[in-house]
Structure 1
Amino acid sequence: MKEIRRRFSALAVLLALLLVGVLSGLVFFIQSYQVTADMRTVSRDFNLLASRSQQVLSNLNKRAVPNYLESRDNERVLYQQFYEQSARLSVQPSLLILNAQTQPIFQSDLILNRISLNYVQTVIKRNRPANAFMKVTKGENDQHFLLFFARVPATAGNQYSVLVLNGAAFSGENIKYGSSFTIADNYDNVFATNSTSFILPGFGKMDSEKFAGHFYVNNDDVFLMRRQQLGKNIFLYTFLRSFPLMMLIVFGLVSVASLLGFLIWQANRAANAIGDKTNAAITELVNETSEIREGKQKRIQITTNDEFQYLADSINAMVERQEAMTTQQLQLQKQTNQYELKMLEAQFNPHFLYNTLENIRITIKLDPALAEKLILSLNRVLRYSIDHSGEPTTLEADLDVLEDFLMVNQVRFDKLRYQIAMDPSLANMPVPRLFLLPLIENALKYGMKTRSDLMIVVTCEQLENAVTFTVIDNGGGFSSEKLISDLPPVESETHHGLANSFRRLQMLYPTANMQLSNTDDGGAKVTLHVARA
């Protein structure tokens, strides 16, 4: 119960935080879209105004301004063309023309009463010989202006015309979602704005450092911030006030409390239901196991369709396996004495040792080197065979001794040939000592009865899910009765080596099985299979 409540409480907090996070993320996503959309709107309106202003100035500089500079008596024509061109703009600009000495020679209105002539002259001197550029300046009565400078091309000297736009006329009236904006230059001089939230008091400059990220927190307010470059030295700052932090915190706490209460109530109901069902299942399981312990039944019989039924099935499987293992253990124990009595017979035929010693005696005189080799091989075989440690050996070591055994027999039977092949991945596989020797002796015993040029092939292969050990000879093969009969018992006098090899391998690998068959050319084939995952 306590664990369920604890988990449900943690789940409630997690879900509440997730809910707050999702809702907050959704709100920020929507507002981010809105502030981005408003930023694009302001950017589009400003770029349109700037483009048209530059076009107006360019059109005037083609004819009207050069004609005026050549003869000052056509001022009325200049006024007329200026107002015709400026009618294309959404705001009414002012026109200022300066000669090569940056002295004003024409102004459409008293614009120099609102902006500093000294500022205009300084800007022109610093930006010569540039053909066109923009600047932002602050004029009288905290008015802000955007100045478009263009050099008059058809005149001698660096004479400039300047189109002046009042920032108060650019209000961002097309803003759809209520975002605030400020247009300023790279020195934070403001041209146009609809909010003073990020204008430094006393300086009238933009506080651009607060737009370094996408969010800005000021006391209880959260702002979504955007910054975009509009021109070479003009920037647009757009921001939107989001939900207050306190509102989000209160909403989060209320959500946590509500979900916590609801989930604790559900936890109590679930815990009670689970407890009742668990108690009933445990009681039934205890009663069933008591019946098994007292010998009244062999299986637990409950049907709950849950983990307790799975536990009961597992216990039943364990009991069945225990019974099978007990039976197998008794059978193996019974056969142990038989294996020990048969060991020498299963490993070597006494005639093998006698004939080998006789061959060594004769070979010492004729070929001492071969005799020495025979003695070493026989020594390895005998030492290996009488090691009764009972510990399994590796397949590679076992095959080395089998090769010594076959080499010794090759001296006895000069036409005997053999071949041993092993998959390298099986080199360290644990196997019973000399478990294949009875099969090889069986092949020698019965194969030599039919032909003297006996060929024995031993193969150890790694298949996809199994390992196979195969002993093939080109002798007379198995009889039809032998192929269809069951595996002979160990104590059988006929082909006792087959059963011995199989039983010993099966003790180490219970899944082992053996198959007897004849090859296409009539020879005998014995295959041992060991399933491996």
Structure 2
Amino acid sequence: MEHKKYRNFKESTRHLFRIYTIIPFAVLMILFLVFTIINGRMNLTQKTTEAAQSISQSMAEVYQQYYNEINRMAASPAVTNYVNSHLGSDKVYSEFYDFNNHQKVKSIFHIVSTGGIFLASSAPPEVLSSNFAFSNLINRIHQRPQDTLSEMNSFRYSHDRDTSYTFGKAIIKNGQTLGYIIYQLYESDIQKIIFEQNNEIAMITDQHNTIIATTSNATKGVLNKFSPTFDNQGHVLLNNGKYYMYTKRIPDTPIQVVTLNSYKSEQYTYYTVSVFVLAASVLLWIMIQIMSHKMSTRNSESIDKLIHALAQLREGNFNGYVDIQTNDEFEILGDEYNVMLDRLKDLMEKNKELSELSTIIEVKQLQSQFHPHFMFNVLETLRYAIKIDANQAQDIVMILSRLLRYSIGHDRSVQLQDDMNYVQDYLKLQHIRFNERLEYQISVAEETQEVYVPKLLLQPIIENAIKYGYQHQSKVLIEIRIYTSAGKLILEVHDNGHGMNEETLQQVNQILQSQSNTTKHIGLYNVHRRLVLLYGEQSGIHIDSTQGKGTCVTLTIPYEWGENDV
């Protein structure tokens, strides 16, 4: 009788484990390589196209604005009257600067008589008086007085300011040409538009491929033209590298946008992925050898695992799961034990949540009371700033947008440096509102920058200092000091306001120590109550005040606390 050869259970387990692990990993690596190649090419194409679309949209707006403006100015009564009588130059300059100050791309403005005399200019015209190219420009406008001239040309002014594109139009009244109006766009401003993130090279050319502006001088060829060289695969050869190019012509204009991105980054990705796959394969093979050996011996340890898990459970460790895969009664027993452990943990978590629910609800209610105070004061500051200076109001809007983005976030805690950025923006707005009547100083210890604190922690304190500081005086100084002491994070807000007498100070401190608050002192109470709920009775607010000298509000919280503890 022939005897069959049997492979022992340990060796069979190791063999099957190696096969079932290597096969899916190999398939996954192949799919990963294919996806990386396709995705790399798609990303290169997409970012090049998106950059061209974005630049094209911006340049189309600039072109259309200048095209409309020069036609409007050429027909403006203020301009025609000035050319005829040489009177009313202030109106002409006012219209130009009102337009120019609102443009992304600034320009130089000229009005030239038919005899070549500069009647008005926003830059010294001496550099153009004998310029042959400028004379030809005037001649081209003169030959087609009904058309609007727009072309690439370069003129250099003082302080190394170059212009690279020109709009020109004849000034006509009653069928007679009185002069010419010209806008010359700064090259540096155009370059700012074409600098796009995730894009290497961008340029703007006219219909003759003459470069108006570019982010790389390597694209400039003979006579400042862009004449790319292509390989047999259609790649642009530039700077000893291959580039993908996308060209976008701007509708109804003689200009086009060209964007280029190198294939080098894509090739580097392929190299990196190849090294990763090779390293991962070697590491996986080593891990498979080790894990297959451990797996083949683990099945005999089922009873020991269960006994050990029960011992851990008696000690209060509810994470002592067992992993038994013997396909017998011990596996069923292990699974049932794991289910029982999950149910115990669920019951404990529910009890913990019930005990913490009231505290969480109260903290959220206290946090929600900060926003109305904050929004009212910021909008009031903005209202005053708009009346004083429109440019300053624009700065306020930018600061306000940052404050709004920060304040509407859902984070319960933030790093101290982030909250102090908010405080600085808030004080900037208040300083704009009160000018020299408000001064502030901020001192933050370097080691405290990354400590997590409750969001909008100091804003109500500073708001109170400003609100009550101006009740008895015209100038307020606010000093903020943040440092560590004896394992605590100390935040102090000083002001030089009128302060409080002893009776008022005692009343305020009594309100802070109470469990509920029905008085008007909402801001300070909310901050104090929030700190007590989050950190315990050792934390909170302490107020020192002397009537006629000012008030110091001190906040104390634990120093060694992370984000999950706030």
Which of structures 1 and 2 has the bigger CA Rg? Answer: 1
